[in-house]
Amino acid sequence: METQHVPVLLAEAIEQLNCKPNGIYLDATLGSGGHAYTILKDNPQIKWLVALDCDGDAIKQARSRLEPFSHKTFIFQANFITLRAILKELAVKEVDGILIDLGVSSLQLENPNRGFSFRLKGPLDMRMDKRLSSTAFDLVNTYEASRLEHLFRTYGEERWSARIARALVRERKKAPIADTVHLSNIVTTAIPPAHRPRKIHPATKTFQALRIVVNQELDNLTKVIEEGIDLLAHQGRLCIISFHSMEDRIVKHHFRKSTTRYIYPDGVRAPGRLQAGTLRIITKKPITPQPEEVSNNPRARSAKLRVAEKV
Ligand SMILES: C[S@@+](CC[C@H](N)C(=O)[O-])C[C@H]1O[C@@H](n2cnc3c(N)ncnc32)[C@H](O)[C@@H]1O
């Protein structure tokens, strides 16, 4: 049977999206269509759901799942940073709510051919969008040691980044590092045995770093938040589910930045010049899954939902 992604924080995200009759909503990360299906089923009065994913496999699966709602669903294979152009194509000027559920889907993770999993042997790919030109193979086999070290430290917060980078460069001199299990074995061996993590696989952080860089995840997140805020209608909500601290920091920072604005044409900042911004933060602290959800779906354990509303 085809793998289907189990949506995380489903009830919480749908409640926070606060769908209104005749509203237009955007699911920027459609995946298997779990969130989208519930948005449409629970809110029969909405006008349209526009849904995007950069992954063609996800689009195919979600399209068939959302078939019963095809009269009010517009599905695009696209990077969410292009949302302005997509809405323009539909002659939509603003949307009443946006959901962004970051990270990788089970559909991607559990398909060995996609190269996301350190447990399943497959090619070192990791592109969510197969139209991208660079794969994890290219990074691992061509980047200099210093660049790899920087990448693992910055995007994986990996303490052993220098050792891992040196080990990769040493190994690839013998033969290209072409598959996920080969990579994960090199990473594991590079970490001193006494320091290998027990709760997570030793290659988790290295794989995360490569995936983030291959898919430009953090740059894309910054862009979609900025565009999303701009394209929200009055009282429209931006709901973002993140899965690691780097993503969450970006969301928190951009939400905070948009709650107030200084007007200082002469360059002088003063409290009296503080003006209400474009957002109101709804979740002072992020919403996290209930223990029951985590025990049913361990992938949910690090999820954080932050919500802000356009003022
Ligand atoms: C966690 S899954 C979403 C699951 C979905 N909410 C569901 O219920 O099935 C994240 C999805 O976002 C997609 N994605 C990640 N970055 C993207 C981007 N920049 N543009 C469009 N889609 C993206 C991935 O391909 C993946 O399918």
Residue-wise pLDDT for 59-107, tens only, equals 999 999 999 999 999 999 999 999 999 999 999 999 999 999 999 999 9
- Supply the pLDDT for residue 2: 75
- Supply the pLDDT for residue 3: 80
Q: Which atom of ligand 1 is nearest to the CA of 4?
A: 9
Per domain, the residue ranges of the chain are: 10-107+217-310, 133-214
- Supply the pLDDT for residue 266: 72
List the chain residues with pLDDT less than 50: none
- Supply the pLDDT for residue 212: 98
Q: Which atom of ligand 1 is nearest to the CA of 5?
A: 9
Residues 143 and 125: their CA atoms lie apart, in Å, by 15
Mutation pick for ligand 1 pocket among 53, 82, 208, 241 (CB with most ligand atoms within 8 Å) = 53
- Supply the pLDDT for residue 273: 63
pTM: 0.94
Minimal-distance CA residue to ligand 1 atom 4: 31
**What's the fold here for domain 133-214?**
DNA polymerase; domain 1 (1.10.150)
φ/ψ of residue 242, rounded to 5: -115, 165
CATH number of 10-107+217-310: 3.40.50.150
For the chain, where are the alpha helices, taking DSSP H only?
10-17, 34-42, 56-65, 83-89, 106-109, 136-142, 145-156, 161-174, 180-190, 204-214, 217-231, 245-257, 291-296
